[in-house]
Structure 1
Amino acid sequence: MKRKSKQRQSTYKESFTIPQIPKIDGIRKQHKYVKEKFISPLFGSDVKDEIHVPFVVRVIGDKVKKYDAFRTVPKMTDEEAKKISGSKYYEFKDGIISKETRKRIFGVSSYKDQQPLDEKVSVDQELVLEKETVIEPVNMNQVEEKENALPPWMRGKKHVELSPEETSLNMDTYERPQKEVKIKANFGEEVSEDVQYQKPPRFVEEKPKVEPKVHATYHALDDYQLPPLTLLKKVERDRDEKPDWLLDQVEIINRTLADHAVEGEVAHSKKGPTVTRHEISLEPGVPVKRITGLQDNLMMNLAAKTLRIEAPIPGKPFVGIEVPNKIADIVSFGNVVDTDEFLEDHKHPLKVALGEDIDGTNIYVDIAKMPHGLIAGGTGSGKSVCVNSILISLLLKNKPEDLKLILIDPKMVELTPYNDLPHLITPVITDPKMAATALNWVVDEMEDRYKKFAGTRSRDINSYNENIKKGFIDEEKMPLILIVIDELADLMMAAAHDVENAIQRITQKARAAGIHLLVATQRPTVDVIRGTIKSNIPTRIAFRVSSFTDSTTILDGAGAEQLLGRGDMLLKETERPVRLQGAFISNAEIDGVIDFIRNQSRPQYILKHEDLNHITQVKDTIDDELFASVAAYVVSENSCSINSIQKEFSIGFNRAQKLTIFLEQYGIVSTQQATKAREVLVTMSELNDILEKLGLQ
């Protein structure tokens, strides 16, 4: 039984096989898509099937990306494409629909390219011109020949010649009077009557102005008089006085040196307005560092608030110890400026009076030699008084046609009394963004001056004005320009990038153009006085600061933290700073000088605050890269709403609202009404004109 069952099992056993798929050549080959033959609704199937790229006259967006949609081969680089076919769009050289291809298909050009406006016409010029339409005669024989070449169903009705009686119509004719051309030119430019205009604008309305290029024009005042010195007060003081406390200081210093076995004694003592400098003569072989090591002991024995050691005194064989006076004297501004050294120095119009040093010598600084200055100091140190003394010094010597000022005062306190002066290019600026715009205007003015120098072969502003004086150049005298920034920290907080770039460009190359910069701040930290600013300002004026770090930021060393305040300053023009007492000028004296000048003439502003605000708004608009796209979207949809802009461009509410405000400012959409949506006020062609003026197309 077992054998039979085994035989039966072997009878029904199937052999194990693996199915094989026969290899067929071409089964894995990818078939190309075979599209149907193109049939034209106009010419039928008798048309060559090829890709034609639309002819674009006005383009908003990236043209390269638009042409990429029609490419069938990988894109080459622009250089390779130009070598092969002379154009970077090498695939579409014969496929782009143009005026020639339309003429080849239809027999006549049905589109006339728009002629560009004359480049000589300024952007700000507006043209009101109505041109007569000239109708050219039509050659009917040529029209019939072209119609016969078309299919029968496309031919028009046959032209019928009329008799002379039928063609004569008794109609009254008249000639339209040609309107007068009104051109609004830029201020200070002459309008040429020989300008030919190829095509007038389609409509005339108030266009949004682009950032205007304001040309500086200066006019002399014939009857202008400089302020007299009688407006300033003078204070007489005894410079050779030797009070008892000074003699006591000499004894204490000599005793301290003897206690520490330092062979030396006080040789001379010079009493200054704020501090007294004791000059110590050391015996041969005594190192100078022995004196500097006794600074704390001397300060303790003299019971002084601060003490400064100058080892050695430049130009003298002594070591100086500067000790504060028990009673400080006031250095009057009237005493410092009432000298021939200041008033009769006509070769240096930018010489200013700073104060008096320890030796009793008046200290003057020529801004033209600085050529830029940095003034820093804490509250109550005398920084603002120093800025006022510099400005009044300039007003005492310079007429409005010789010197122009740009005053920037974000604190709105210190420099606002100087408003309405004829020396000002613009009213005192208090807005940080407007200040950045004004600094950029100064950069443009600097570049314009260098172009004039190059055209007249002048090296600097002095040689340029000298050539004008000799009659070699038929221009008005070019004045000096001084920019004064009272608080740099506020500007750096609001527009750090623009302010820093403008200051860097001015300080690097504006000296020969007669443009100088004075920067003042009461927060001399590294984030305010950055390295790019400090490296191009060699002259530093340091008042009392709170720390050694701030002193290092200003002077690249110690010393400013040991000053007394109230006009005690360090002037650094070379490697070693010089200590002096700043000249004091009261508010009544400042007002007297300003009123004397203001009563003679009115201000002649070159830049008004409205112009600066408009330039700032235009710059904000151009900074937003979505403005052109949003404007095109709004005009194409013929509706404007913040929600639709948010959804279309995936941006936040604040940015969409800001873009909508810009659209309203440029007259693209209407103002916001209570219940109605904004209306779109321009067409696409008019929008293109606006974007072209803004430089966004």
Structure 2
Amino acid sequence: MVSSDLNAIVTPNQTSFEEGKNDFTNEINLDLKTKPSIPTSSPEQAFDIKPAVSTTTSTQEDIKFNIEVAPVIDILDDADKQSKDLIEKHGLYDHRLDLAKFQMPPVELLKDYGNEEISINKEELEENKNKIVGLLKNFNVGIAEIKATIGPTVTLYEIVPEAGIRVSAIKKLQDDIALNLSALGIRIIAPMPGKGTIGIEVPRKNPTMVSMRSVIASHKFQNTDMDLPVVFGKTISNEVFMADLSKMPHLLMAGATGQGKSVGINAILTSLLYKKHPSELKFVMVDPKKVELSLYSKIERHYLAKLPDSDDAIITDTNKVINTLNSLCVEMDQRYDLLKNAFCKNLKEYNNKFKERKLNPENGHRYLPYIVLVVDEFADLIMTAGKEVEMPIARLAQLARAVGIHLIVATQRPSVNVITGMIKANFPARAAFRVISSVDSRTILDSTGADQLIGKGDMLYFNGNEILRLQCAFVDTPEVERLAEFIGEQKGYASAFLLPEYVSEEATSTVGTFDPNEKDALFEDAARIIVSTQQGSTSMLQRQLKLGYNRAGRIMDQLEASGIVGGFNGAKAREVLISDLHSLEQFLEDLRS
């Protein structure tokens, strides 16, 4: 018989129902105070434990036994002594001194939407509970227990099926339950990870909004010790959900148009701006749609990074996107060289070492801020540039986490030709808003579920282990404007953070006649490198000779004009026209004469 009485509420957002009880009498109680006994079959087998008898003689007691502890010697090499002296004289290096008076934005900049407490509608809970239990009984699925957890937009009903009921039998009834409850977006989780229950998520008739202000002002966010805290919103149990971008290490977002994807990006950027000083974090923003991220142009001199020859920090042109991504790859390689020379594994160790004045700036060492690449519409880049965009993105995703470069890539078209296997493999963290079909859901999450969401910020977050249903925090355009204005009005750096110089090989491929008298000083060294490796690559010259990309490109033009390498060949390296170093030396001798 089904109980119709709603039991007392266990937690502010949790309600329990019971459907029958199982009496288990075969409980095992372990009394830790009882001494373990050793069973013996005969007196001969019993263990007789006696204290050891001292065999010390009087002669041994007369011998003096002196114990001396060697003093601890503080061994410091010259570098450590120098570092210690510098710390005593100047203190730890403070990377915030350039903008010492910078004020972090207050919570009051975000709009207060009033009471966001969850109201419990007992009639709705009781009605849904009776419908679920009655429907399952009609299909001969017995329930031992049912419990409800109320979230901002969705109520989770957890059921414990009777013994002998197959999980697949309940999974098949998803459409029947949705029909019976007259609800959009019924999602069945069978079984729930870490619990012996089956979950049925049912949208609430009167959902509660989750504002950005409520999650930013929460105790959990204000007192976090995460390196790059990202607050998404609230879970189905009404708890603030946060994740560390430095641990993800990259995030892939997808969702149909108008389902909350751009608001989700703004929520991520807002949470980072509320926690990190401008000296600790830089954004590289790519916005093919040209309007979504334009609000952040006001914080260019504080938080944004760009190419040296670029006018706008928000990148909208596809050609500049390719150059910027390749420039980030150069920055990544340079950072790895710095970490290698400093004997550090990751950015955090390196910066701590630099703050302790153990790394000499004269050797090229500097404080390294985190760099977050934000791409708002990835599908458009793939359609217009293809492999030229995919390859640097994949390379950054594979290698960049250790040097503090993290990627947030969003798209409204999660198809396999946009989110390829090479990209997906390096994005373990995924955020999915509502998509149209289960195929799209499988592409982004590797499972169904995103097609059953109800929109308006309802999302699934997958971190490589389990899928969590969240209600994304809502941050409106005026709130972002106020935040950007508050930061932009304060004193900033002279310019945006400059990425390494990069010019595409196509831009430097215009070659005139070669004049031996105007050749670069490193022309011959570059020629020897190209011929010895048989690889005509401008980026290789830049790495080997430690040049800027413009100069390396000019040298490559001279090599082409002189007949050492062939013409520009797209993404491939140029053809080397001289086969060995002996022939090259004769060729260079002829040029000198």
TM-score by length of 1: 0.57
Aligned residues of 1:266 and 1:280 also touching (Cα < 8 A): yes
Q: Secondary structure of 2:233's partner? A: strand
Whichever residue aligns with residue 442 of structure 2, its letter is T
Cα distance per residue 1:473-510 (max 9 Å; x no partner) = 13442111100000001111222112111011101111
Query: Residue 447 of structure 1 aligns with which residue?
Result: 333
Secondary structure at 2:183 match in 1: coil
Correspondence 1:420 to 2:301: no
Equivalence for 2:147: 268
* Contact 2:210 2:233 survives alignment (8 Å): yes
Distance across 1 between alignment mates of 2:335 and 2:558: 34
Q: What whole-Å deviation, never above 9, does each CA across 1:178-199 have from its counterpart, x for those lacking one?
A: xxxxxxxxxxxxxxxxxxxxxx
1:329 maps to a residue whose letter is T
Work out the CA distance in 2 between the residues paired with 1:388 and 1:553. 24
Which amino acid in structure 1 is aligned with residue 464 of structure 2? Answer: T
Find the residue that maps to 1:420 and give its secondary structure. helix
Quote the residue 1:296 is aligned against: 175
> 1:605: how far off?
1.7
> Given that residues 274 and 328 in structure 1 are in contact (C-alpha distance below 8 angstroms), is that contact kept between their aligned partners in structure 2?
yes
- The yes-or-no answer on 1:581 pairing with 2:440 is no
Q: Does 1:279 align with 2:169?
A: no
Structure 2: unaligned runs, 5 residues or longer: 1-94, 307-312, 517-549, 568-575, 577-593
**2:513 counterpart residue number:** 632
Q: C-alpha deviations, 1:375-408, integer Å up to 9, x for none? A: 0000111100000000010000111110011010
2:402 to 483, 504, 512: 512
Is the alpha carbon distance of 1:323 and 1:222 closer, same or farther for their aligned partners in structure 2, counting shifts above 3 Å? same
- Following superposition, the deviation at residue 461 of structure 1 comes to 0.8
State which of 208, 229, 243 in structure 2 corresponds to 1:365: 243
2:276 matched to 1:390?
no
Q: Which amino acid in structure 2 is aligned with residue 392 of structure 1?
A: T
Instruction: Give the Cα separation in 2 of the matches to 1:219 and 1:433.
Output: 36
How far residue 244 of structure 1 moved from its aligned partner, in angstroms, is 2.2
Matching residue within 183, 190, 193 for 1:311: 190
The alpha carbon displacement at 1:606 in A equals 3.5
Q: Which position in structure 1 is the counterpart of 2:446?
A: 556
Post-superposition shift, 1:300? 1.1
CA offset at residue 317 of structure 1? 2.1
Check if 1:530 corresponds to 2:420. yes
| 1:399 equivalent in alignment to 2:277 | yes
* CA distance in 2: counterparts of 1:298 and 1:376, whole angstroms: 27
Aligned to 1:410: 288
Map 1:3-22 to 2 at 5 A: none
* Aligned: 1:354 with 2:232: yes
Q: Which runs of 5+ in 1 are unaligned?
A: 1-216, 636-665, 667-684
Alignment of 1:119-158 (within 5 A): none
Q: CA deviation at 1:467?
A: 0.8
- Is the Cα–Cα contact under 8 Å of residues 298 and 484 in structure 2 kept in the other structure? no
Is this contact kept in 2: 1:254–1:265, CA < 8 A?
A: no
Cα distance in 1 for residues equivalent to 2:145 and 2:210: 27
CA contact (8 A) 2:514 2:561 kept: no
Q: Distance in 1 between matches of 2:123 and 2:404?
A: 51
The one-letter code of the counterpart of 1:319 is: I
Cα distance in 1 for partners of 2:450, 2:371 equals 30
Map of 1:241 onto structure 2: 120
Q: Distance in 2 between matches of 1:404 and 1:528?
A: 26
After superposition, the C-alpha distances for 1:186-239 in whole angstroms (9 at most, x for unaligned) are xxxxxxxxxxxxxxxxxxxxxxxxxxxxxxx99831111110111123442333
The secondary structure found in structure 2 opposite 1:312 is coil
Structure 2 counterpart of 1:326: 205
1:372, CA displacement in angstroms? 0.5
Separation in 2 of the partners of 1:341 and 1:296? 38
Q: 1:498 to 1:688 in 2, by over 3 A?
A: closer
> 8 Å contact 1:570–1:580 — kept in the other structure?
yes
Q: Answer yes or no: is the 8 Å Cα contact 2:441–2:447 preserved in 1.
A: yes
Q: Give the structure-2-normalised TM-score.
A: 0.67
CA distance in 2, matches of 1:557, 1:282: 24
2:496 is matched with which residue? 605
Find the aligned partners of 1:689 and 1:314 in 2 and give their Cα distance: 61
For residues 320-359 of structure 1, what are the alpha-carbon distances to aligned partners after superposition, in whole Å with 9 as ceiling and x for unaligned? 11111112211111111212321222x3230111011111
Matched residues in 1 for 2:264 and 2:469: separation?
14
SS at match of 2:283: strand
Contact between 1:492 and 1:499, CA under 8 Å: does it hold in 2? yes
Distance 1:225 1:247, change over 3 A: same
Please state if 1:484 is matched with 2:362: no
SS of aligned partner of 2:303 = coil
Give the one of 341, 345, 359 matched to 1:459. 345
Contact 2:514 2:558 in 1 (8 A): no
Q: Secondary structure at the match of 2:320?
A: helix
Residues 218 and 225 of structure 1: CA distance in aligned 2, closer, same or farther (over 3 Å): closer
| In 1: Cα distance, 2:248 partner to 2:401 partner | 9
Give the drift of 1:621.
3.5
Greater strand share, structure number: 2
CA contact (8 A) 2:513 2:561 kept: no
Looking at structure 1, the residues matched to 409 and 475 of structure 2 have their Cα atoms a distance apart, in angstroms, of 20
- Percent identical: 38
Match of 1:540 in 2: 430
Corresponding letter in the other structure for 2:176: N
CA contact 2:282–2:497 (8 Å) conserved in 1? no
Q: In structure 2, what is the Cα distance between the partners aligned to 1:319 and 1:576?
A: 15
2:159 alignment partner, SS class: strand
Counterpart pick for 2:411 among 516, 521, 540: 521
Whole-Å Cα distance in 1 between the matches of residues 317 and 507 of structure 2? 18
Q: What does the per-residue CA deviation read over 1:413-455, in whole Å, with 9 as the maximum and x for residues that have no partner?
A: 1101101311101211011111111111110001001111111
1:243 Cα deviation after fit: 4.1
Distance 1:350 1:308 in 2: 31
Change (3 A) 1:275 1:633: same
Q: In terms of Rg, which structure is larger?
A: 1
CA distance in 1, matches of 2:429, 2:167: 29
8 Å contact kept, 1:420–1:602: no
Structure 2 residue aligned with 1:116: none
One-letter amino acid of the structure 2 residue matched with residue 350 of structure 1? L
- How many Å separate the matches in 2 of 1:511 and 1:291? 42
How many residue pairs were aligned? 420
Q: Distance in 1 between matches of 2:217 and 2:558?
A: 63
CA contact (8 A) 1:487 1:522 kept: yes
